[in-house]
Structure 1
Amino acid sequence: MAHNHVHSHNHSQPDLKGRKLLLSILLNIGITVAQAMGGVISGSLSLLSDALHNFSDVLSLVVSYIADRYSKKDASVEKTFGYKRAEIIAAFVNSATLIVVAIYLIYEAILRFFNPQAIESGMVIWLAILGIFFNGFSVLLLFKDSKSNMNMRSAYLHLITDMAASVAVLIGGLLMKYYQWFWVDSLLTVLIALYLLVMGYSLLKSSFKVLMLFTPDDISLEVINDALCKIPEIKNVHHMHIWQLNEQETHLEAHVDFYEDVTLSQFDTVLTKVEELLFHDFGINHVTIQPEHQKDDPKDIIVQD
């Protein structure tokens, strides 16, 4: 059995990610305290919901920061993959908290809708502006890394949804100030929560697929199998598994049936062809092949272990 992989290291970028997360944590602690105090004083449920969401942001950012630190730890004989999946677990946990927070906000908003209360709209407006400014800065900090890292994307989603929540709270504060529409506080809370549910579910599903070793959505086993079987020396490719260890590492293992009883050096030549095809055409950078010749075993693409 042969195993080869292609990967690169970037040490400066992960350190920069950690610093960005740490700064975002400090900013969100400040926002949470200010909005919680303002929500209690003003009586605004939407402002308190924003504070609660900001608190969940703090927790999610802390989880993301710890995961980022752990993901850099070296592998060992006890942990042969190291902590490379720490960031995927963080993304799963953070997306789950988004959903829990959203459900709680909907419950509180329904109760408040049937019992509307007068709200100090001026404080709501100024604290919403503060939330927009601080969350907007944090969003800009994490924007670039969110494109390529699920852990950073989960933190980014927490922040951008909270910035959107602050915008909604600001609009609500203005409507309450000039039109006395106090019921809009509950309506905006529900809209914020529904948005959280949609975003949280999407990320929860993506991280769940990685943790369960599902085949990535953009990869087809059938297409890859056909491509490999076009290599002249290969008769059949079967017992295939494709999964992501994390967002940087996609693995493939398979049994490969050869037409001829090849030597090890001949197998290495074919293996190089396989690796180059899989890496350049499908982005698979870890390949483990079990070579076979006239072996009596199931030849299906998927073989139940």
Structure 2
Amino acid sequence: MAHSHTQTASPQDANARRLLIAFSITALFMVAEVIGGLISGSLALLADAGHMLTDAAALLVALLAVHFARRPASGRHTFGWLRLTTLAAFVNAIALVVITIFIVWEAIVRFQNPQPVAGKTMLIIAFAGLLANLFSFWVLHGGGEERNMNVRAAALHVLGDLLGSVGAIAAALVILWTGWTPIDPILSVLVSCLVLRSAWRLLKESMNELMEGAPVTLDIAALKRDLSRTIPEVRNVHHVHIWLVGEKPLMTLHVQVIPPHDHDALLHRILHFLAHEYQIEHATVQMEYQPCHGSECDLNEKTAHHHHHHH
């Protein structure tokens, strides 16, 4: 037993270690790009630093998720601390939107009166940023153990960030060769579009989770249909609630069934169906033998009935 326990801990530790290394590198180079951007007067570098901030934040959120997934649930926080990662992602997304607005605004200002840009400084720093991103990506992709969703997402972030550094390098080369400085704000706007894309996705996903929304991919009507088709004893499925906590779907549902010989075996089959067909590991099923009447059966219908009485 002790042996298997150490094995379950190791992929998580490896994930945490990878994330920590990648986070340190990214955060370090983000600071370097901010300083470099200010010294060289390059907006594209600042935009790429904004992009690196998204990475650093994504890596930090992933680190927190790994850390909090280990912490046991307490009496007050029965889901543990998994929601914190969602909250962090939400705050990150808002910060990104603010950064993007700032960079686009600054770019417009610079179009009207172009600023001098130190091409050489810019090139060196952008190139170093590119190497840092490549190294982080390599770290996150290394090793064959199971990589969780967070680590994969972080690796994708870093890959997207390569584009930002490439943009900054391109701008630096154009400035060095032709001395045409408006290329810098132009490319900074393109990079901030990348930032906005990841911000929008983060905002949508974290908002959905904070609003207790169902997973985007899940079709509840289909789930109800499938359940009654697959398990003949099931007559009706209602009062279905599904939401996410730290990317894990949770579900409660009422199932009206033909009275079975073995209550627990039927319950087990329903849970097995949810786990295997829909990847819902954590479901609470209330089994009923009579059709469910009464207002408590459905949250929404109850309020709907009230409204009818008023009119």
Ranges in structure 1 where 5+ consecutive residues have no aligned partner: 1-8
Residues 1:270 and 1:21: Cα distance change in structure 2 (over 3 Å): same
1:300 Cα shift?
Answer: 11
1:237-272 alpha-carbon deviations (Å, 9 max, x no partner): 11111222233x322211111233x46xx2111112
Q: 2-side partners of 1:165 and 1:274: how far apart?
A: 48
Distance across 1 between alignment mates of 2:297 and 2:191: 45
Please report the TM-score for the alignment, with normalisation by the length of structure 1: 0.84
Distance 1:227 1:238 in 2: 13
Residues 40 and 216 of structure 1, relative CA distance in 2, 3 Å threshold: closer
Q: Indicate if the aligned counterparts of 1:39 and 1:124 stay in contact, CA closer than 8 A.
A: yes
Mapped pair 1:112 → 2:106: no
Are 1:239 and 1:299, in contact at CA under 8 Å, matched by a contact in 2?
no
Alignment of 1:57-96 (within 5 A): 57-96=55-94
Q: Which residue of 2 aligns with 1:4?
A: none
Is 1:213 matched up with 2:212?
yes
Q: What's the counterpart of residue 39 of structure 1? A: 37
Q: Is the 8 A contact 2:45 2:126 kept in 1?
A: yes
1:138 corresponds in structure 2 to 136
Query: Could you list the per-position Cα deviations for residues 83-117 of structure 1 after superposition, in whole angstroms to 9, with x for gaps in the alignment?
Result: 12233333323233222221211111111111112
- Deviation of 1:281 (Å): 1.6
Deviation at 1:208, TM superposition (A): 1.8
User: Is residue 43–residue 103 contact of structure 2 (8 Å, CA) maintained in 1?
Assistant: no
1:23 aligned counterpart, secondary structure: helix
1:283 equivalenced with 2:279 (yes/no): yes
- Aligned AA for 1:167? V
Structure 1 counterpart SS, 2:81? coil
Matches within 5 A, 1:187-226: 187-226=186-225
8 Å contact kept, 1:72–1:84: no
TM-score, with length taken from structure 2: 0.83
In structure 2, distance between residues paired with 1:96 and 1:154: 18
Given candidates 259, 267, 272, the residue that maps to 2:263 is 267
1:18–1:65 Cα contact (<8 Å) kept: yes
Q: Secondary structure at the match of 1:11?
A: helix
Equivalent-residue separation in structure 1 for 2:97 and 2:153 (angstroms): 12
Q: 1:245 to 1:36 in 2, by over 3 A?
A: closer
* Of 284-293 and 30-39, the range deviating more from structure 2: 30-39
Q: Give me the identity figure in percent.
A: 33
What is the rounded CA distance, in whole Å, between the counterparts of 2:31 and 2:44 in structure 1? 15
Query: Match of 2:168?
Result: 169
Task: Tell me whether 1:234 sits opposite 2:234 in the alignment.
Answer: yes
**Number of corresponding residues:** 292
Instruction: Return the structure number with greater helix share.
Output: 2
Unaligned runs of 5+ in 2: 1-6, 303-311
Offset of residue 53 of structure 1:
4.0
- Relative distance call for 1:195 and 1:129 in structure 2 (3 A) is same
Partner amino acid, structure 1, of 2:239: H
**1:137-178 deviation line (CA, Å, top 9, x unaligned):** 1123335899842x5466445533432111101001111111
